Amino acid sequence: MCRNIRPLHNFEPPATDDEIRAAAVQFVRKISGFSAPSRANEVAFARAVDEVAGASRRLLAGLTTAAPPRDREVEAARARERSRLRFARGG
């Protein structure tokens, strides 16, 4: 999975439209191979981002869990620690 796409389910507060759209853009960039589409592909790229974002919103709205909501700051700190450990080994 693309490292820039983050889990968005079960956070308090819930994922924002901006977060969902950013994940959709990253997904479309990854599968298309374009970081930015050419003019010829702009419409198809934008349509794909809209469709992926919509599907993601529907998915997040339909998911249920008995787990307590995750804290964004705690998850970010965990991610920073994983990154620190990963890059400390590779250095």
Band (pLDDT 50/70/90 cuts) for residue 4 is low
Rounded Cα distance between 67 and 2, Å, is 25
Q: Which of 68, 28, 72 is nearest to 48 (CA)?
A: 28
- The per-residue pLDDT for range 14-69, each reduced to its tens digit, is 999 999 999 999 999 999 999 999 999 999 999 999 999 999 999 999 999 999 99
Rounded CA gap, 60 and 10, in Å?
Answer: 9
pTM for this entry: 0.80
Domain residue extents for the chain: 11-90
In the predicted model, is pLDDT for residue 91 greater than 80?
no
pLDDT at 79: 86
